[in-house]
Structure 1
Amino acid sequence: MGLFDRFQELRAAHGQIKACGADPFGVKMDRILSSTEAEIEGRHTILCGSNNYLGLTFDADSLAAAKASLDKYGTGTTGSRIANGSYDDHKALEQDLADFYGKQHCMVFTTGYQANLGAISTLAGPGDYLLVDADSHASIYDACRLGHATVIRFKHNDPADLDKRLARLAKEPGNKIVVVEGIYSMLGDHAPLKEFVAVKKKHGAYLLVDEAHSMGVMGKTGRGCLEHDGVDADVDFITGTFSKSMGAIGGFLISDHPDFDILRVACRPYMFTASLPPSIVASVRASLARLRAEPEMMTRLWQNVDTLYDGLQAKGFRLGKQRGPVVAVHINGPELAAMAWHGLLSNGVYVNLALPPATPSGTALLRCSVCAAHTTEQLEQVIEALGEVGRQLGIIPAEDGAGQVRAAAE
């Protein structure tokens, strides 16, 4: 057996997707023009798949902070904080985040993936139980594999199923840690955190919430779904990332647990990875300060969410059930989804093609992400381009001359 023979099925599937005319997983951005625009294949393109929810990648204060930090500290730390020490901004960012969430402790990781990998694999040890939402991100499942706890999946966003599974463990020793996400990255639906908190309290479990896609998006001040649902004080651990609303890269773990700091010498993904470059830390601090000073940025984001969601729904597309910065457009099958994705790119619109295993089994999506910096005109162009491609491929019904949807059978 050859070294790569086990990937034959994946290679064949990837080949079918590339047959649409381009490789959706190998797009080259020739130039980034702004938070919402790029040049791809020599074509001016609207970015509607960047996760840049607040549009802060070109924020003037964040850029200035990063440039000043480059001059002061150089390009990187060249090692982990355990080996090479913490710079003053590492500590300052952790304090900023702890203050933002109203918690006592924070650890900053080099990526959001590592935040989940490190937190989950370290918190749950041999003899413990991880109860994980079935639609959890790959970083959560990889953390389960890295650790030594027993892993139990429960039905997506189903507190009753979690309750049933925790009840079965009532007489089992060991800690029970429930892991959910605030907003799920593919379908864009929100976790019912109030109900999950009630279940975890009933059974004496811990609750970890990954707020990667809801920080800076949900809640009065942008603290995510836990703030939106009013359960800030009842969530034991919060993970998140800087690569969405904060416009950079990195991750974090936050908690009030009194023994939190032992994780700094127990968590392998934290201990054995080079720390964030100071310029990134500086830009994230500036972006967080901007969010705290101007939470009204989220108002513009949600206006844009409504514009895109309502516009696509009016065209006849089948969308995710809940509104949010992730607008999932359901397509019947990966090949058709790939053709639609390529049609959009050819018309100057970039979205994400999302297929299993990134999505639930059997689910193919055109995954759109909304940015506070999108103009109404840009979003209307996205809606029209999706409508045109959708009609051409038979994904949505045709329209009559007045722009009204006609049944496909007419």
Structure 2
Amino acid sequence: MASLFSKYEGIASALGSVVAAGGRNPFSVIIEKPVSSTVGVIEGRETLLFGTNNYLGLSQSPRAIKAAQDAAAACGVGTTGSRIANGTQSLHRQLEGQIARFFGRRDAMVFSTGYQANLGMISALAGKDDYLILDADSHASIYDGSRLSAAQVIRFRHNDPDDLYKRIRRLDAPDRAKLIVVEGIYSMTGNVAPVAEFVAVKKETGSYLLVDEAHSFGVLGDNGRGAAEAAGVEQDVDFVVGTFSKSLGTVGGYCVSDHPELELLRLNCRPYMFTASLPPEIIAATTAALEDMQAHPELRTQLMDNAARLHAGFVKIGLNASKQVSPVIAVTLETEEQAIPMWNYLLDLGVYVNLSLPPATPDSRPLLRCSVMATHTAQQIDKAVEIFRQAATKAGVHGAR
């Protein structure tokens, strides 16, 4: 009998090699107990967390925790239904209004995850007679949304407005709608999108533009609205998608837009229509975390100061760090034979980061992906840099000192 699992033999073999090389499965690390936003217990040891996307440290917000407790006591722990059935409570609509006002937009839709926000918006907006034009380094949720949409997909070179323009001009299809999709900060490398240049292409070609601000929401811009705000072109972006699971420390996703037709998508967006809505305690915690973020703009300043400190530390010890300074900092290595042991050494020495291996990396080289928090102290950052130096030396990383 043919096996349903034979297709996974290759990945099983690759995973076995990774585990054999380091003694651990790096993709199933358990944080046994969060001690704070920056420290967790892993393998019984207190470990510095530099791989959690908790950019503002708000997963431990006392205001959000209290709001969640109060909402669960008042409303129960779940809705048991989708948004178009019994799954919309007043809290859901209040959060949508709050998000829309925060972005200065007409309306907002809240999804159960950030993944579903991309999956839902892209698949509902782009149909079989439309074009989807995607940055080649787009997140998996964007690619999955494109598959669900049945639109014709065209990829352009990462962060390259000129290549985007050329590819759209070659289409010569003025009667077919075109949706450009880019990200504010790219989650693997920390690269920031040139959103103003993409807006110029959008206008020149008569396209729509969707910006996924998942990793730039709460991080970039004077108010934390993301890369589009930082570039001064917010009103020229048709759709902003994002997640609550990074800077706000909860879970869920959203889309904001000034297009009045957004309301119609509530009845045409399958990942919105056919999944249970967020439970009341998550909605309440997210609302409180957003209020925290707005009340403490100094968190963004501290976050970027911390990112600059970590990046400078990596450069000083000779590591190949991301070209741009953002809260996502990737250390790129040449071989898996270096990357896997180094990741294990880091964990042994008390630092947790994310290990990314080809083919999931942008340039087919392995990398150690770090995410910085506003709540990291200077001492924690310096300690992490020193541990990186020790781990790189033990792993035989060329140039490390």
Band of TM-score, shorter chain: over 0.9
After TM superposition, give the deviation of residue 396 of structure 1 in Å.
4.1
After TM superposition, give the deviation of residue 365 of structure 1 in Å.
0.7
Match in the other structure for 1:114: 116
Match in the other structure for 2:352: 350
After TM superposition, give the deviation of residue 247 of structure 1 in Å.
0.2
State the TM-score, normalizing by the size of structure 1. 0.96
Are 1:16 and 1:335, in contact at CA under 8 Å, matched by a contact in 2? no
Select the residue among 157, 167, 170 that pairs with 2:169.
167
Are 2:135 and 2:158, in contact at CA under 8 Å, matched by a contact in 1? yes
After TM superposition, give the deviation of residue 335 of structure 1 in Å.
3.4
Match in the other structure for 1:55: 57
Match in the other structure for 2:78: 76
Are 1:54 and 1:371, in contact at CA under 8 Å, matched by a contact in 2? yes
- Equivalent residues in 2 for 1:312-327 (5 A)? 312-327=314-329
* Structure 2: distance between partners of 1:174 and 1:398: 52
* Structure 1: distance between partners of 2:376 and 2:98: 28
Moved more, 276-285 or 169-178: 169-178
Match in the other structure for 1:13: 14
- Equivalent residues in 2 for 1:219-238 (5 A)? 219-238=221-240
- Equivalent residues in 2 for 1:1-400 (5 A)? 1-19=2-20, 20-397=22-399, 399=401
Match in the other structure for 1:408: none
* Structure 2: distance between partners of 1:116 and 1:150: 17
Moved more, 81-90 or 136-145: 81-90
Are 2:111 and 2:254, in contact at CA under 8 Å, matched by a contact in 1? yes
* Structure 1: distance between partners of 2:40 and 2:281: 23
What letter is aligned with 2:13?
A
What letter is aligned with 1:15?
G
Are 2:243 and 2:254, in contact at CA under 8 Å, matched by a contact in 1? yes
Instruction: Tell me the secondary structure at the aligned position of residue 196 of structure 1.
Output: helix
Count residues in correspondence.
399
Instruction: Tell me the secondary structure at the aligned position of residue 85 of structure 2.
Output: helix
* Structure 1: distance between partners of 2:311 and 2:159: 22
What letter is aligned with 2:292?
R
* Structure 2: distance between partners of 1:364 and 1:68: 44
After TM superposition, give the deviation of residue 361 of structure 1 in Å.
4.3
After TM superposition, give the deviation of residue 259 of structure 1 in Å.
1.2
* Structure 1: distance between partners of 2:312 and 2:38: 20
Are 2:134 and 2:180, in contact at CA under 8 Å, matched by a contact in 1? yes
After TM superposition, give the deviation of residue 171 of structure 1 in Å.
3.0
* Structure 2: distance between partners of 1:398 and 1:123: 47
Inter-CA distance 68–357: structure 2 relative to 1 (3 Å threshold): farther
RMSD: 1.0
Instruction: Tell me the secondary structure at the aligned position of residue 108 of structure 2.
Output: strand
After TM superposition, give the deviation of residue 398 of structure 1 in Å.
5.8
* Structure 2: distance between partners of 1:341 and 1:279: 36
What letter is aligned with 2:3?
G
What letter is aligned with 1:294?
H
After TM superposition, give the deviation of residue 397 of structure 1 in Å.
3.5
**Which runs of no fewer than 5 residues in structure 2 stay unpaired?**
none
Instruction: Tell me the secondary structure at the aligned position of residue 81 of structure 1.
Output: coil
* Structure 1: distance between partners of 2:227 and 2:362: 22
Moved more, 205-214 or 21-30: 21-30
Instruction: Tell me the secondary structure at the aligned position of residue 83 of structure 1.
Output: coil
Are 2:338 and 2:396, in contact at CA under 8 Å, matched by a contact in 1? no
What letter is aligned with 1:173?
D
State the TM-score, normalizing by the size of structure 2. 0.98
* Structure 2: distance between partners of 1:46 and 1:396: 25
Inter-CA distance 291–207: structure 2 relative to 1 (3 Å threshold): same
Moved more, 1-10 or 261-270: 1-10
What do the CA deviations read for 1:212-267 (whole angstroms, capped 9, x no partner)? 00000000010000000001110000000000000010000110002110000000
What letter is aligned with 1:3?
L
* Structure 2: distance between partners of 1:85 and 1:189: 37
Could you tell me the percent identity over the aligned residues? 52
Are 2:318 and 2:400, in contact at CA under 8 Å, matched by a contact in 1? no
* Structure 1: distance between partners of 2:338 and 2:286: 39
Moved more, 302-311 or 389-398: 389-398
Inter-CA distance 364–117: structure 2 relative to 1 (3 Å threshold): same
Instruction: Tell me the secondary structure at the aligned position of residue 151 of structure 1.
Output: strand
Are 1:391 and 1:397, in contact at CA under 8 Å, matched by a contact in 2? no
* Structure 1: distance between partners of 2:341 and 2:62: 38
Are 1:138 and 1:358, in contact at CA under 8 Å, matched by a contact in 2? no
